[in-house]
Amino acid sequence: MPQRDVYNPLLFEIAWEVANKVGGIYTVIKTKVPVTVHEFGDRYCLIGPLSAGAPMEVESLEPPAGHIRDTLEMMAGQGVRYLFGRWLVEGAPYVLLFDTASVTHKLDEWKGDLWRAAGIPSPEHDFEMNNSILFGYLVAWFLGDLAPKFSADPEASSSAMVRSPTVIAHFHEWQAGVAIPLCKSRRIDVTTIFTTHATLLGRYLCAGSVDFYNNLRNFNVDKEAGDRGIYHRYCVERASAHCADVFTTVSHITAYESEHLLKRKPDGVLPNGLNVVKFSAVHEFQNKHALNKEKIHDFVRGHFYGHYDFDLENTVYFFTAGRYEFRNKGVDMLLESLARLNHRLKAARSNITVVTFLVMPAPTHSFNVEALKGQAVTKQLRETVNDVQDRIGREIYERALRGEELDPKDWLSDEDKVLLKRRMFALKRSALPPIVTHNMVDDNQDSVIDNLRRLQLYNKPEDRVKIIFHPEFLNANNPLLGLDYEDFVRGCHLGVFPSYYEPWGYTPAECTVMGVPSVTTKFWMLYG
């Protein structure tokens, strides 16, 4: 047998959010890519599901010749569709995205195998669990065919002095974890690492208003998971933690939580890192803040057209962002605080306006027509004013060159006045500016909207606190708020993250490196 090359391993990083922005894991992986590529080069490849938006983030390429291509061609011959290429982020790593829809016909077979191999149940109608099973089996299939090829390589097997590479598979969160117990039961020759960023049961317990941190030692985990209808998902997460060669978490609080809820003490705590080098030029903080704040100004002008009665020079922008977990992320506390702030600012007759953005993905039908109209009419006004400015500027220039007298009364023509009045009349509206930028799937059951109604935060003219709920992650192609998340953060004045679960998370850390203050929570855990 050839020796294993532990110094030049192949690293596969597997997560549901590879080129698929669902939550914070996307940012975590994207941030660490440049450093990982610098260390591993083309021996590093990310694996994820093929989402609808992935083709816009991935440059399609032929897999490099060799064992990886052979394995993928074999899988393609059995009906598996995939996308291989370079992820268009800094570092441009190889990425392999499996289309789970191409193997849906195998779902029942694989569910039965998962029960026999790992004792993990799977109900029929859990869409997320079904996709996780399909994805996990595709990953295990890929690794199971690939790993033996290296140890059986003719060049490697011809001499004991030739090393075959070690294969490392690093999995994030339970959605990617199904492959770990499969690798264990099938004795696939790969080293597995499982990282949980927050336990599934912990999220559900905190959302259920229990005294979580003081009772971690006392929960009957099987009963709690069963009561919340997530026992099958919990089994995947617990099996992943126990079957992995190395189990890690991202904070000491999560490590303590994992020890009691997943019943395995993590082998290490690996805090999520941030690439702070690109933010090191301090003078750029001010420049980028000013540029991106002006873009937010443009959105606010459009959103509040017809009720635009506040001075942007006396306006500050707050925001919160992340997964839509109303209590866990402290949105309940944030909205209550904003209502009180609104009352105090009105009582003090303050001229300061606080515009607060809630950026959390939720099910929607489409963009709100009023929100789209606001951006359209203000853009139309801006274009008209620019045209008038250009024409007047050329006329002033020509008259000045000829030495003619300049009379401001002659600058605006009757045609200009009529056109400008038409644009101004288009700004009139009878309804209040919307508090949400999209049409929600079921706004009567939405926790944010329900509490905004209860607190009467309706964006009324007299309100000094305005609310904009944007139930979709930001990107530069957005027709309403066309900013990538990092640029949006740089344009704001304060991030607010009063989380009950996962205090001091990734979002306030991002604010710190981008030079934006943040308010967050810190839960001091006593170990004993």
What is the per-residue pLDDT for 279? Answer: 54
Span 385-406, pLDDT tens digits: 888 888 888 888 888 888 877 7
The average pLDDT across 492-497 equals 93
Span 418-430, pLDDT tens digits: 888 888 777 777 7
Residue 457 vs residue 502, higher pLDDT? 457
Above 60 in pLDDT, residue 27?
A: yes
What is the per-residue pLDDT for 337? Answer: 96
CB 349 within 8 A of CB 517: no
Mean pLDDT of the chain: 87
Q: Which of 458, 453, 450 is nearest to 432 (CA)?
A: 458
Span 108-124, pLDDT tens digits: 999 999 999 999 999 98
The average pLDDT across 492-499 equals 92
Full DSSP string of 115-182 = HHHH-----TT-HHHHHHHHHHHHHHHHHHHHHHHHHT-HHHHT-TTSEEEEEEEEEETGGGTTHHHH
> Ramachandran region of residue 306, left (φ > 0), alpha (ψ -120 to 50) or beta?
left
What is the per-residue pLDDT for 109? Answer: 96
CB 43 within 8 A of CB 9: yes
> Where are the strands (E) in 222-285, listed by range?
246-249, 268-269
State the DSSP H helix or E strand holding residue 424, giving kind and residue range, or none if neither: helix 414-425
Residue with tokens 């440049």: 34
CB 164 within 8 A of CB 224: no
> Which pLDDT band holds residue 459 (cuts at 50, 70, 90)?
very high
CA dist 174 and 197 (Å) reads: 10
The average pLDDT across 486-490 equals 91
The average pLDDT across 55-66 equals 92
The average pLDDT across 46-71 equals 93
Above 90 in pLDDT, residue 411?
A: no
Tokens of 451: 């509490």
Span 166-195, pLDDT tens digits: 899 999 999 999 999 999 999 999 999 999
Residue with tokens 């339970």: 174
What is the per-residue pLDDT for 207? Answer: 82
**What's the CA dihedral at 424, 430, 431, 437 to 10 degrees?**
-20
**What's the CA dihedral at 468, 287, 487, 470 to 10 degrees?**
0
CB 132 within 8 A of CB 236: yes
Tokens of 105: 């016909």
